[in-house]
Amino acid sequence: MRSPLGRARTRVALPTWRFGRLGVTGAFAVAALLLILAIGAVLDLSASRAGQGRLAEYIRTAMTDPVASIAAAARTHRIVFVADIHGSGATKRLAADAIEAVAAQTGLDAVVLEVSLDAQPFIDRYINTAPENTASLMANPAVLRQPNPAAHEYLQIYRRIWRINENVGPDRRIAIYGADAPRWPPSSAVSPAELSRRYAVRDSVMLEVIERRIFLRNPRARVLIFMTGFHGLKGGRGELKTGGTAPVNVLWLAARLQARHPGEVATFLTDAPAGPTSGEVAEYVGTRVPEFLGDEMPRRTFAVRISDAFDVLSDPIIERDSPGVDFEILPRGYNLRDMADTYIRIGS
């Protein structure tokens, strides 16, 4: 999907027509139409450039350190969602640093990962080992979301939590929960329609795990959720279409949590360098903010609250289809500030 700036530039390329014998009136009419199109293209381009400049200036003046921003949100929100990108090692390193900062400053009861709940026994076995032994993690590919080019960095999240737990009392230990649907992703080939259906129920499973295993036991628990970005959207919905079947709708985990716990959820959406994608039905790979800003994008890593300065980008989250499935975020024309609270860019 192209940026508004790119679309405006495209519109500058006007069509060429053969006038033939239009006569004076016809020639003037065509000339007037061409002039209107040219003026519209110039105005579009000018508006896009103005919006680009405003967004770049807002980021430069408002950006902060991402780990500090996540820790600050955890002081005022019990549920913090940090978006992962499957093939990115940088997002995993950010999550590990954020977990340590939140645990040190406000305390953290649980970390929830996008790992099949079938893998929970392997996670529990590891977190309770003394001395540390990662064998139970390495024995189950699902624990590290493999195949994953950033599996090593994912492993370091577990190891960071284990080390934190070694240095605190029993009442401050952090639990780790796998909250994804059982046997996801499917190991055997299934039809696009069935894959879409299974994808759509995942967020309800995640909600059930969090509510039953965490909040039922401790209603005031402080939780950090680290999952790929679509699950962290607080607004809108996803729509999956396959040939010959009714569309399948997806209500995101963060939106469900916000409905259950109003005002308690803070969400962070990320852009980061990433390796190969996982080929999932609807895979979060980032936003169009870096493409839109181009050379105006700061090269450093930063976090910034999502304000109306981001509204210049309509449909700002990248949508990537998989074979046989069309994926779209609705409503069309949404703003980023309706979807998340804070934007994080991890520089290359």
- Convert the pLDDT of each residue in 177-229 to its tens digit: 999 999 888 877 888 999 999 999 999 999 999 999 999 999 999 999 999 99
Average pLDDT for consecutive 10-residue bins of the chain (348 residues)?
43 47 61 60 54 96 98 98 96 98 97 96 96 94 90 97 95 96 84 93 98 97 97 97 92 98 98 81 94 94 98 95 92 97 93
Domain membership of residue 252 as a residue range: 65-345
Asked if residue 10 is part of any domain, the answer here is: no
User: What whole-number distance in Å separates Cα of residue 177 and Cα of residue 216?
Assistant: 14
What's the number of domains the chain is made of?
1
231: in domain: yes
What are the C-alpha distances in Å from 284 to residues 83, 219, 243, 320, 322?
9, 30, 23, 8, 12
Q: Report yes or no on 96 lying in a domain.
A: yes
Q: Please tell me the predicted confidence (pLDDT) of residue 4.
A: 44
Residue 242 lies in a domain: yes
Is position 51 within any domain? no
Please tell me what DSSP assigns to residue 181: P
Q: What is the pLDDT of residue 200?
A: 96
Residue 283 lies in a domain: yes
Place of tokens 């109306």: 308
Sign of CA dihedral 314, 198, 179, 209: positive
Domain CATH code at residue 265: 3.40.50.11550
pLDDT tens track for 298-338 = 999 999 999 999 999 999 999 988 889 999 999 999 999 99
Residue 3 is predicted with a pLDDT of 46
pLDDT of residue 193: 92
pLDDT at 304: 98
The rounded mean pLDDT for the chain is: 89
In a domain, 17, yes or no: no
